[in-house]
Structure 1
Amino acid sequence: MSDTTDEAPATLTPRYIQANGLEFAYLEVPPASGAAEAPLVLVLHGFPDTAWSFAPLLHELAAAGYRAVAPFTRGYAPTEIPEDGDYSLPTLGQDVLALIEHFGADRAFIVGHDWGAVMTYAAAALRPDRVRAIVTAAVPHLRRFLLRPSRAQLAASHYVFKFQLPVWPERRIREDDFAWLVNLARSWSPGWIPDDDYLVPMKANYAEPGRLKAALGYYRAIPAMFFKKVAWQFLLQPTQVPACVIRGEHDGCILDSSFSDSEHLFSAGYEPVRMAGIGHFMNLEAPDAFAKHVLEFLARH
């Protein structure tokens, strides 16, 4: 399909491109200034979200003069499901780099939440020369998170171990109109009640054949990463681009304590932000405050 559409960009109708061997869908809001050379900002969603969860931030970025693009990451509707089932970290990072290339930018800013943050770290590790700066939300540096998890964090990550099972997750998550998944998300953000703007596209994605298996594929690819040379050469090394790392005080998914002792893992500048009283989905719980942190950091770089 073409990357053009007759719909006005403000309607946030998904568009389609080919990148890294897949057809990606994406949402885009062009800069309010109309500048052809506006800086590109890729905004990457996580689990169990879709790109729609970042619609408010896209408009904030565009109003500030950026070209704001939020792809639906591999396997999430309406992006294509990879036939080879490859959800490894190097491939996720290559997806981001291929998207930057498609949109014609020599370098781009990247904002990523949850798995989107993991993809952001991976892209910056593989090609720091293509990344201006990054904002990661709800995930610390991969070396800190994967190699030094506390007992409390391992307990909070119980779902990751359950997702390794071959059949149970697919069956359990679909039961009772995705009640288990909704409750899991709510446990990650105790003060947040998901509304239909969040739940409808999320449920629609997982109702499609193959989409749930695709999302779980991200988690099921984690164990093999520890045996891949590229992880130790690039992904687990200090981040070489300026980084803002945003965390929520009450995050029940990635605990506040898991972000401690991280400054040495960022060699080009590290700006930690702790959002008081906020959980895992800070972009949805406190969208204005989250956008303010993002915009202020990007303006400095």
Structure 2
Amino acid sequence: MTEQSFRNPRNGMNIGYVSRGEGQLVVFVHGFPDTYRGFLPVLDLVAGAGYRAVAMALRGYAPSDLARDGDYRVEASAQDVIDLADGLGAEQFSVVGHDWGAVTGYAAANLAPQRVRRLITAAVPHTGHFLLSMGPRQIKRSLYMLGFQVPVLPEAKIVNNDFAWLESLIHGWSPAWRFGEKEMRPLKQNYLEPGRLKAALSWYRQLPRSIASPLSRRLIFSAVSVPTRIIYGVQDGCIGPEMFAGQEKRFSNGLDLVPLSDAGHFMQWEQPEKFAQLVIDFLEPPAGKS
């Protein structure tokens, strides 16, 4: 699958992506510690249903550029999605986001609600709900985020012993997923490139900066007006299933909540066919179909 690149005229940054199919645009946005490659099996299935399915790499992840201005706030990733849609000639489009891609999806829907047709997120509830509703169990699960705030040491810990800590993290988040070197190789290759691992952790490190920014704060905490489906794994060791309850008021145009009893955090890797069908079922029918 050939990687492509869009040079953003607004800031000169290159946004890397892969594209499959033709039709209404659907932008897939990955999270940590994944890369856009986690969506590739899903991409082909969605494209086969009559859509142009595009998986982009978040800024900082290969093959996208590192942020030249060092900006990894929520508003930056949301704007990148809008800019990529502009570059692909799509006035309206849908977004599918996992993990940080879900955070980006909520923000993009709030940044340009008139342009986002449908929003489908995976593994993360509404960002504002998540930040304001963490109880003791979720705080314990999220301690890794606090650990990432320390400079330098997390980078060394992650790459040590051929990424053993990262493999342990993934296993804890998706206990039933039997991943191997095939799945880990793209992650390792990305994080071994200079600056990539620091960039990935910068999304966490700049969350306080995001909350301090009036625009990012609005994108994080405002209710989403785009029709939304949230898919979550009941076995997720990163964000507990209890975190997905009680967020309906944060979706003014409806929330469709889909639990997967036999999936963990990386459901698109674990069950690509089921995940793709859940995406397709929620999207508007392609032109000429009903």
Q: Verify same fold: TM over 0.5.
A: yes
Residues 1:50 and 2:39 are matched in the alignment:
no
Which deviations, in whole Å up to 9, do the C-alpha atoms of 1:116-175 show, x marking residues without a partner? 111101100111011001000000001110112111111001110000001210110010
Aligned residues of 1:126 and 1:235 also touching (Cα < 8 A): no
Q: Secondary structure at the match of 1:272?
A: strand
Instruction: Report the Cα distance in structure 1 between the residues aligned to 2:218 and 2:271, rounded to whole angstroms.
Output: 36
Q: 2:222 aligns with which of 237, 244, 251?
A: 237
Could you tell me which residue of structure 2 aligns to residue 7 of structure 1?
Answer: none
Which segments of structure 1 move beyond 4 Å, counting only runs of 4 or more? none
Instruction: Tell me the amino acid that sits aligned with residue 159 of structure 2.
Output: R
Residues 1:185 and 2:170 are matched in the alignment:
yes
Instruction: Tell me the amino acid that sits aligned with residue 6 of structure 2.
Output: I
Could you tell me which residue of structure 1 aligns to residue 4 of structure 2?
Answer: 15
Instruction: Report the Cα distance in structure 1 between the residues aligned to 2:165 and 2:38, rounded to whole angstroms.
Output: 20
Instruction: Report the Cα distance in structure 2 between the residues aligned to 1:265 and 1:66, rounded to whole angstroms.
Output: 28
Residues 1:27 and 2:18 are matched in the alignment:
yes
Aligned residues of 2:73 and 2:216 also touching (Cα < 8 A): no
Could you tell me which residue of structure 1 aligns to residue 148 of structure 2?
Answer: 163
Which deviations, in whole Å up to 9, do the C-alpha atoms of 1:16-67 show, x marking residues without a partner? 1112521011111123xxxxxx100001111111111111111011100000
Q: Secondary structure at the match of 1:226?
A: helix
Please, which moves more after superposition, 241-250 or 144-153? Answer: 144-153
Instruction: Tell me the amino acid that sits aligned with residue 256 of structure 1.
Output: P
1:83-232 correspondence to structure 2 within 5 Å: 83-232=68-217
Please, which moves more after superposition, 192-201 or 86-95? Answer: 192-201
Aligned residues of 1:76 and 1:205 also touching (Cα < 8 A): yes
Q: Secondary structure at the match of 1:41?
A: strand
Could you tell me which residue of structure 2 aligns to residue 278 of structure 1?
Answer: 263
Could you tell me which residue of structure 2 aligns to residue 35 of structure 1?
Answer: none
Counting aligned pairs with the same residue, the percent is 43
Unaligned stretches of 5+ residues in structure 1: 1-11, 32-37
Instruction: Report the Cα distance in structure 2 between the residues aligned to 1:197 and 1:130, rounded to whole angstroms.
Output: 36
Aligned residues of 2:75 and 2:210 also touching (Cα < 8 A): no
Instruction: Report the Cα distance in structure 2 between the residues aligned to 1:175 and 1:193, rounded to whole angstroms.
Output: 21
Which deviations, in whole Å up to 9, do the C-alpha atoms of 1:173-193 show, x marking residues without a partner? 010011101110110001012
Count of aligned pairs: 284
Instruction: Tell me the amino acid that sits aligned with residue 18 of structure 2.
Output: L
Shift of 1:195: 2.5
Instruction: Report the Cα distance in structure 2 between the residues aligned to 1:234 and 1:23, rounded to whole angstroms.
Output: 23
Aligned residues of 1:135 and 1:244 also touching (Cα < 8 A): yes
Q: 1:68 aligns with which of 44, 53, 64?
A: 53
Instruction: Tell me the amino acid that sits aligned with residue 64 of structure 2.
Output: T
Please, which moves more after superposition, 62-71 or 224-233? Answer: 224-233
Shift of 1:289: 1.1
Cα RMSD (Å): 1.2
Larger relative contact order (Cα-Cα within 8 Å, sequence gap ≥ 6): 2
Q: Secondary structure at the match of 2:163?
A: helix
Shift of 1:73: 1.0
Could you tell me which residue of structure 2 aligns to residue 291 of structure 1?
Answer: 276
Unaligned stretches of 5+ residues in structure 2: none
Label 1:189 to 1:263 Cα distance change in 2 as closer, same or farther (>3 A). same
Instruction: Report the Cα distance in structure 2 between the residues aligned to 1:287 and 1:59, rounded to whole angstroms.
Output: 10
State TM-score, norm by structure 2: 0.95
Which deviations, in whole Å up to 9, do the C-alpha atoms of 1:233-267 show, x marking residues without a partner? 34311101000000100100111111110111100
Could you tell me which residue of structure 2 aligns to residue 41 of structure 1?
Answer: 26
Q: Secondary structure at the match of 1:267?
A: coil
Q: Secondary structure at the match of 2:114?
A: helix
Instruction: Report the Cα distance in structure 1 between the residues aligned to 2:134 and 2:202, rounded to whole angstroms.
Output: 21
1:233-272 correspondence to structure 2 within 5 Å: 233-272=218-257
Instruction: Report the Cα distance in structure 1 between the residues aligned to 2:263 and 2:253, rounded to whole angstroms.
Output: 27
State TM-score, norm by structure 1: 0.92
